[in-house]
Amino acid sequence: MKNILVTGGSGFIGANFIRYLLSETDYSGRIVNMDLLTYAGNPENLSGLDASAQGRYVFVHADICDAAAVKNAFEAYEIDTICHFAAESHVDRSIVAPDAFVNTNIVGTFILLEEARRHTDRLQRFHHVSTDEVYGSLGKEGFFSEETPYDPSSPYSASKAASDHLVRAYHRTYNIPVTISNCSNNYGPYQFPEKLIPLMILNGIADKPLPVYGKGINVRDWLFVRDHCRAIWTIIQNGRTGETYNIGGECEIPNITLVQTLCDILDEMVPPGQNRPRSNLITFVNDRPGHDFRYAIDSTKLKTELHWKPEASFETGIRQTVQWYLDNPDWVARVQSGEYRKWLTENYGERG
């Protein structure tokens, strides 16, 4: 493995993955980050990379749906490994405007697979990063395993399901050396504040309402982003070609309990605002249409076959995350003000 193409490396998990690769693994090859820098892609997520990145990190500002750009990058950088994160990733946006989800998540994945097909001679691995949401919703009991039938509820999860099927089909039909991982909800540094945890942290700090959908009884299985990155790297190195691995945090929490916990941590860590306790800010709002009730992952396969397990407890991971948002007010201010969008336009033109 000498030249890894990371798509969506300027987003939340992609940026954490590149940082992990550079600072915590013995990977010594080149990292090519292809990112369109949509609203969710932020070059600041990769600012201040350490000296080990010098000459090894390359940024390509491009759309994965642009076949010519993908071809150029493959050839210019002799790509032999792909880790595919790039996606539209927010369920609520997919309900309002599904178009971009179909384009990036399905067509974009297809374009990458087609390019991979032209390079089977040197391609060692095409790793597709996916979600547990492809399996649909669980009731009070049970877990998603790799054998659970797909049953997606939102345009987001349907588009990810479609991309998973394409990736698997390219393995069976063209023998592309793929692996797929389906992971539960992530949290950690650099997450865009439209997702539950960073939204609640930042609204809580700013004494703004904390909108909880429905009755707050929906359950998610939370995983610290570094543990997801470790799992992906483990699968890329040692996972069996053509296989799917589920990744979960063994950390099921109903939304209302999670928000209440965040309120308590903020009350402890942040100087008092007008609203104390912060739980006074919790506001129940209309439920999300098609809101999946519960996600819970069975990661037995990953644990037994590849000896991975989550390292961060929710208690340590969530405190580290709250601290990160407190320690990075400039990042937060720019993401919230849209100033980084101006920076993008100045540096990359209107396409940014």
253 lies in the site for ligand TYD, by CB under 6 A: no
38 sits near ligand NAD (criterion: CB under 6 A): yes
**Residue 268 designated active-site:** no
> Of how many residues is the chain composed?
352
**Site size toward ligand TYD, by CB under 6 A:** 12
Task: Please report how close the Cβ of residue 340 comes to ligand TYD at its closest, in angstroms.
Answer: 21
Please state, in angstroms and rounded to a whole number, the distance separating the CA atoms of residues 248 and 67: 33
Select which of 35, 63, 115, 132 is catalytic.
Answer: 132
Minimum CB–partner distance for residue 248 and ligand NAD (Å): 10
12 is a contact residue toward ligand NAD (CB under 6 A): yes
Residues 267-306 that bind ligand TYD (CB under 6 A): 288
Beta strands in 124-190 (DSSP E): 125-131, 178-183, 185-187
Between the two ends of the chain, the Cα-to-Cα distance in Å is 30
Q: Does residue 218 belong to the site contacting ligand TYD (CB under 6 A)?
A: yes
Would you list the DSSP string of 212-263? Answer: EETTS--EEEEEEHHHHHHHHHHHHHHSPTT-EEEE--S-EEEHHHHHHHHH
For residue 78, what are the CA distances in angstroms to 5, 81, 124, 227? 9, 9, 12, 29
Which of the stretches 11-19, 69-77, 230-238, 311-319 binds ligand NAD when contact is defined by CB under 6 A?
Answer: 11-19
Distance of CA 291 to the CA centre of its chain: 19
Q: Give the torsion through C-alpha atoms of 19, 22, 23, 26, to 10 deg.
A: 140
Rule CB under 6 A: is residue 10 a binding residue for ligand NAD?
A: yes
Q: Is 87 in the site for ligand NAD (CB under 6 A)?
A: yes
- Which of ligand TYD, ligand NAD, none does residue 263 bind to, with CB < 5 to 8 Å depending on kind? none
Lookup: tokens for 158: 């349907």
Query: How much is the CA Rg of the chain, to the nearest whole Å?
Result: 20
Nearest C-alpha neighbor of 50 from the set 9, 22, 20, 31: 22
CB of 139 to ligand NAD, least distance (A): 21
243 with 204: CB under 8 angstroms?
no
Amino acid identity, position 160 = K
CA 186, 190, 195, 201 dihedral sign is positive
Active site annotation includes 295: no
Under rule CB under 6 A, residue 195 binds ligand TYD:
yes
What is the closest distance, in whole angstroms, from the C-beta atom of residue 64 to ligand NAD in the complex? 4
**Least distance from ligand TYD to the Cβ atom of residue 2, Å:** 34
Nearest distance from residue 154's CB to ligand TYD, in Å? 8
299 binds ligand NAD (CB under 6 A): no
| The 125-131 sheet, strands edge to edge | 57-61, 30-35, 3-7, 81-84, 125-131, 178-183, 244-247
Instruction: Answer whether 294's CB lies under 8 Å from 211's CB.
Output: no
Q: Which stretch binds ligand NAD (CB under 6 A): 59-67, 139-147, 280-288, 299-307?
A: 59-67
Closer by beta carbon to ligand NAD, 129 or else 332 = 129
User: For this structure, is 114 an active site residue?
Assistant: no
Q: Is 155 in the site for ligand NAD (CB under 6 A)?
A: no
Of 56-64, 193-201, 227-235, 326-334, the window that binds ligand TYD (rule: CB under 6 A) is 193-201
Q: Which of 199, 202, 270, 326 binds ligand TYD (CB under 6 A)?
A: 199
Read out DSSP for 146-159? TTSPP---SHHHHH
Out of ligand TYD, ligand NAD, none, which partner does residue 212 contact, by CB within 5 to 8 A per kind?
A: ligand TYD
Q: Which of 63, 80, 88, 133 is catalytic?
A: 133
Residues marked active site are found at: 132-133, 156
Q: Interface residues with ligand NAD (CB under 6 A)?
A: 7-8, 10-14, 34-38, 40-41, 63-65, 85-89, 104, 108, 129, 131, 160, 183, 185-186, 192
Q: Which spans of this chain sit near ligand TYD (rule: CB under 6 A)?
A: 91, 185, 195-196, 199, 211-213, 218, 220, 255, 288
